[in-house]
Amino acid sequence: MKEKSVFVCQSCGNDTPKWAGKCPFCGEWNTLVETSVAVGRGKAKRERKKTKNKPQKLSEVKNTAFSRIKTGLGELDRVLGGGLVPGSVILLAGEPGIGKSTLVLQLAEALAGKSNQDDPGLKNQTVRDRKTVLYVSGEESLAQIKIRADRLELKTDKGLYLSETDVEMIGEQIRTFKPEVAIIDSIQTLSTDDLAAAAGSVSQIRETAARLIRMAKDLSVSVILIGHVTKEGVIAGPKILEHMVDAVITLEGEKFANFRVLRATKNRFGATSEVGIFEMTDRGMIEVSNPSKVMIEDRVRRTPGSVIVPAIEGTRPVLVEVQALVVNTNLPVPRRVARGVDFGRLQLITAVLSKTLGLRLGNYDILVNVAGGIKIQDPGADLGVALAIYSSLKNKNLPAKTAVFGELGLLGELRPVYQAQQRIKEAQRLGFNQIISSEKFSSIKAVVASLRSN
């Protein structure tokens, strides 16, 4: 089998026979890397025996009943839509050190037969049938995995572990042991001898993922692939990887904060609106069954710049504390710092406050933070951010037991947000009986006038 050199784009995965500064397919610059590929594989594939396949009507297709595999981690099951589907392939991505390997190691031991008395994270779960789990690590040796398992005080030894990067060897072990769940940590470390490219290249990621996906479908094995992210925060490798898998879930949060949010961005077997919330401890990931209470329990009460917001994470309301600090600046261009909220939304809210309320915010640095290290994408937090900025600027507290939500328009109007009643019920459940929202006020100017009169 001969080899030839082509230039493969590390962004889109397409190849060209000549190098160019700009990829002719996706338009990205400086992404073409020379790669050796084998010639003749297409002919070998054509010579394989092919099975007959013909089109069918959907009415002729027999429904195959399947039962989801409960992972034992309720927050993960919520994100997946009820558990793992046999034969599905899930891509779990996140920044380095965020807790991906810790989470899947706990998952492997839970599936392999951990009882609900062994782990606080399973205290609300029933004891399940044991599953055969194969954990494959291309980044750590078995000794390193054991050190981490001992640190997490994982008490069972039912799972199977393998340190390997060759996808053919991994496939052979999966066919031999026939696990119900296979965990690959990580897809960027795998390679096949059929390609001369280095592990982690676009061609290797695409080929090794395709082989694992085909194996998962043929053997009805649930496969979880751990994926790295780039410095821009996107999943490393070709974008086609996200299209190939059945579900893409990301683990988010500040590396040195306690909370982690598991969020689905794609799910063929469930909703993409669900999120799971975990707390990172010295014993690994612990499920947070009552996130609202945990998020605000350390709050410093009656402080200017602090506002409680019932935000929607997935389909459930979560109370978070939005903090703002407005201070005089000596810089020609004042700073705008956003942690936990979108920077563009902060710029928009600042402009609306300046225009609608006549606030001279151009002389101040504005820093906004969501306590707990989580990120909220809910537009219903706009009003909370605006009032936190106003409260810090005027050095005036909001009334006690007040919760705030509402979307802020460019003209200063307050727009209704979805699940308003669920937000109100969650706030009242934790004792916040005074609600400031678009249901009571039509504009930010009306809200500020009400606060001035109190």
Query: pLDDT for 159-206, tens place per residue?
Result: 899 999 999 999 999 999 999 999 999 899 999 988 877 888 888 888
Alpha helices in 253-314 (DSSP H): 291-296
pLDDT of residue 3 exceeding 90: no
Q: With beta carbons less than 8 A apart as the criterion, state whether 413 and 391 touch.
A: no
Query: What mean pLDDT is predicted for residues 74-87?
Result: 92
Alpha helices in 56-165 (DSSP H): 74-80, 100-111, 142-151
Query: Which pair of tokens denotes residue 424?
Result: 């109100």
User: Is pLDDT larger for residue 124 or for residue 267?
Assistant: 267
Query: Which pair of tokens denotes residue 433?
Result: 């009986």
Query: Which pair of tokens denotes residue 391?
Result: 């409260």
pLDDT above 90: percentage of residues in the chain: 53
pLDDT of residue 125 exceeding 60: no
Query: What mean pLDDT is predicted for residues 17-33?
Result: 86
How much is the mean pLDDT over the chain?
86
What pLDDT was estimated at residue 47? 47
What pLDDT was estimated at residue 65? 65
Helix (H) or strand (E) holding 417: none
Q: With beta carbons less than 8 A apart as the criterion, state whether 8 and 202 touch.
A: yes
Vertex 74, ends 70 and 75: CA angle to 5°?
A: 125
For tokens 């306590």, the residue is 371
Strands 160-163 and 133-137: parallel
Domain 293-453 carries which CATH code?
Answer: 3.30.230.10
pLDDT above 70: percentage of residues in the chain: 91
- Cα–Cα dist 348/361, whole Å: 13
- pTM here is 0.79
pLDDT of residue 78 exceeding 60: yes
- Cα–Cα dist 181/221, whole Å: 6
Please name the residues in contact with 13: beta carbons below 8 A apart, sequence gap of 6 or more: 202, 203, 206, 238, 239, 240
- Cα–Cα dist 292/310, whole Å: 9
Architecture in CATH for domain 69-288: 3-Layer(aba) Sandwich (3.40)
For 326-357, write each residue's pLDDT tens digit.
999 988 999 999 999 999 999 999 999 999 99
Which residue in 290, 292, 291, 288 sits closest to 280, CA to CA?
Answer: 288
User: Is pLDDT larger for residue 85 or for residue 239?
Assistant: 85
What pLDDT was estimated at residue 354? 95
What pLDDT was estimated at residue 406? 95
User: Is pLDDT larger for residue 153 or for residue 384?
Assistant: 384
Three-state DSSP state, 280: strand
Q: How confident is the model at residue 38 (pLDDT cuts 50, 70, 90)?
A: low
What pLDDT was estimated at residue 124? 45
Which residue in 232, 215, 234, 222 sits closest to 175, CA to CA?
Answer: 215
